[in-house]
Amino acid sequence: MEKMNEQATQKLFDKGLISKKQFDQITNYRNLNVFSLNAELKIFLYVSVLLFTSGIGILVYQNIDTIGHSIIISLIAIVTVLCYYFSFKKVPKFEKNQTHFVSPVMEYIVLTANLLTCILIAYLQIQYNTFGTHYGLATIIPTAIGLFSGYYFDNKNILSLAITGLAAYIGLTVSPQALLQNEVYNTNSLSYAAIGLGLVLIIWNYYTSKINFKTHFALILLTFAVHLIGIACVNNVIDSNYFFTFSIILGLATYYFYISSYKIKSVSLFVFTLLYGFIGLNITLFKIIENLNLTDFFEFILVLSPFYSIGAIILFIMMIKKFNSEIKK
């Protein structure tokens, strides 16, 4: 890796893109062998938040009869309020573009506050049935708080949690029995809801890009959208009688995400787009062959399948290499 960096620096110098002084400064800096611990520290902070919130959950579960509900709720509420207090106190001025806290620790304090909010509301609903039979309120309230916090504090982790909560809310609204019985993808209504939510995320991303509002959230919005639409369409291509309609929807979605991956220069979005498109295409072809009763054609497919698989893998690798080279220009 160091040799590659040295060669890259030498090429920049040879092409006259950097001066001799800049070349010497870069070389001297690399010789210091200085490396950043920023990523490692953020991982430790994230793990600390997860361990803290998980520990509160375990504490509630193991000591619910001895501590008392009122005390537990009060402690969680106090810690949550303190986290939000320091977050609002230290948050930079709200802007349409990306902003950062002065200290990265504050980002994880905001995340802690949001997770504790979810725990608090869930505890109130489970223990005291605060929202009655309106179970969706126990999901949509922390989701709304999460969406506000994600944009106000410019926190991608909270925004991801909020979109997950929004998906759960839609699932509960459409068919709560299916969720409770672990049959999320066995109902067409949930598949339609997933596609609908994916479209909402696409439209919202398009709108925010037009008004230049937090455009750096595009990757999160489109990643959720590609999974929601991709899984729902593939599920319906397999099981639904309207498989051709969902194949067309998946094809259009694949084209859109393919173009979008180039716009935001995201390798992950590009890879998932290719995967869903490839899976959907193959299932559609088999469905067509099955419906046309071309049983003799299956033997021909079996003979060509090894070559087809190898060719698909090679094409997949070539497309990723081409994508990487083009986005680096």
* Locus of tokens 């909560």: 165
Query: What whole-number distance in Å separates Cα of residue 112 and Cα of residue 118?
Result: 10
Q: Exposed, middle or buried, 180 (CB in 10 Å: 0-12/13-18/19+)?
A: exposed
Residues whose CB is less than 8 angstroms from the CB of residue 268 and which lie 6 or more positions away in sequence, other chains included: 219, 223
Mean pLDDT of the chain: 82
More confident residue, 266 or 128: 266
The token pair that represents 284 in the structure block: 């559609």
* Domain ranges within the chain, ordered by starting residue: 1-35, 37-174, 190-329
pTM score above 0.85: no
C-alpha torsion 39→86→125→154, nearest 10:
-50
Q: Are 226 and 209 in contact (CB under 8 A)?
A: no
- pLDDT tens for 98-116 read 998 888 788 888 988 998 8
DSSP E strand boundaries for 139-261: none
More confident residue, 35 or 301: 301
pLDDT tier, 193 (very low <50, low <70, confident <90, very high otherwise): confident
Highest mean pLDDT among 82-86, 190-194, 289-293: 82-86
Q: What is the pLDDT of residue 180?
A: 42
Q: What is the pLDDT of residue 168?
A: 84
* Locus of tokens 């696409």: 202
Q: What is the pLDDT of residue 232?
A: 87
Q: Exposed, middle or buried, 167 (CB in 10 Å: 0-12/13-18/19+)?
A: buried
The token pair that represents 77 in the structure block: 């509420």
Angle between helices 243-264 and 267-291 (to 10 degrees): 160
The arithmetic mean of pLDDT across residues 220-234, rounded, is 93
